[in-house]
Amino acid sequence: MEVQSIFSEKGAKLLVLNNFKFSKAHIAKCGKIRWRCTNTKSRCNAKIYTSADEKTILESQLDHNHEGEKTIARQAISNSVKRKAVEDSTERPSKLIHKELTNNDWASDIGSDDLLRVRRNLYEARRDVLPPLPKDINQVFDAVVNLNLKTKIKDENFLCCLDKENNLIIFSCFTNLYFLCSCDTIYMDTVYFVCENEFHENYIK
């Protein structure tokens, strides 16, 4: 019997066998793990026992009192994508979905309608962890402060300047500024010409 694994909506590992899902119920002292059917509405008593590495089925009691699920493939892709979208909120949704379809064993069972649901679930998951879009300048400043931005390597504050009076926000850290000041020559992108009057004087200086 081939057993596969997916993640639940809450991030817990589930085993899938013959289109039935099993959640971890008990770990014996010898390391054997008991898994029970996740269909609690039907009070299904089906269960399987696996080795400690969760890869080998040692024993099974597959007396299900309900039919198997038909959307497990979509659930597997959707829950995995949602988890990764929350862990890396900067990655593009299309790239996350493409990676999942390339590497996930369930991808071959996914249809176009399923992909629409996966994309929708991804955006909903991100909305739960990201702040709402600000509606005015004051909300922009509040949102930036609440983000508490830090650099990953040195854990430096990445919010360099927040000037509400002049509506100015600058993102940088001490390491970047120190490196900039130590350089004899600085090369800039020419896009500053869109605001030439404001930037030209600073560049000359």
Sorted by where each begins, the domain ranges of the chain are 4-61, 72-129, 137-204
* Angle, helix 112-129 to helix 93-103, in steps of 10 degrees: 130
Q: What's the confidence (pLDDT) of residue 95?
A: 92
CA distance from start to end of the chain: 73
Whole-number pLDDT of residue 204: 47
**Arithmetic mean of pLDDT, 59-76:** 88
* Structure confidence by residue, pLDDT tens digits, 95-154: 999 988 888 888 888 888 888 999 999 998 888 877 778 888 888 888 888 878 888 888
Instruction: Give residue 193's pLDDT band: very low, low, confident or very high (50, 70, 90).
Output: low
Q: Encoding tokens for residue 15?
A: 């085993």
In this predicted structure, what is the pLDDT of residue 127? 86
pLDDT of residue 194: 55
- pLDDT band of residue 47 (cuts 50, 70, 90) is very high
Question: DSSP secondary structure string, 153-188?
Answer: TT--B-EEEEETTTTEEEE--HHHHHHHHT-S----
Q: How are beta strands 168-171 and 57-61 bridged, if at all? A: unpaired
Percent of the chain with pLDDT over 90: 18
- Name the DSSP letter for residue 134: P
pTM of the model: 0.57
Q: How confident is the model at residue 1 (pLDDT cuts 50, 70, 90)?
A: low
Q: Give the mean pLDDT of 63-73.
A: 88
- Give yes or no for a contact between 127 and 82, defined as CB atoms under 8 angstroms apart: no
Q: Residue 190: what pLDDT?
A: 61
Instruction: Give residue for tokens 């057993």.
Output: 3
For residue 172, pLDDT over 80 is answered with yes
Q: How far apart are CA 97 and CA 154, in angstroms?
A: 31
How high is the pLDDT of residue 202?
54
Mean pLDDT of 42-68: 90
Say what the pLDDT of residue 36 is: 94
What are the helix (H) ranges across 88-152?
93-103, 112-129, 137-147
pLDDT of residue 132: 77
**Residue 35: pLDDT above 60?**
yes
CA distance linking residue 47 with residue 61, whole number of Å: 5
**Which CATH number is associated with domain 4-61?**
2.20.25.240
The burial class, CB within 10 Å (0-12 / 13-18 / 19+), for 99 is middle
Q: Is 18 exposed, middle or buried (0-12, 13-18, 19+ CB in 10 A)?
A: exposed
Mean pLDDT score across all residues of the chain: 85
DSSP secondary structure string, 33-101? EEEEES-TTTT---EEEE-TTS-SEEEEE---SSPPPS-HHHHHHHHHHHHHHHH-TTS-HHHHHHHHH
Q: Can you tell me the distance from the alpha carbon of 147 to that of 40, in angstroms, rounded to the nearest whole number?
A: 40
44 within 8 A of 65, measured Cβ to Cβ: yes
What is the per-residue pLDDT for 205? 45
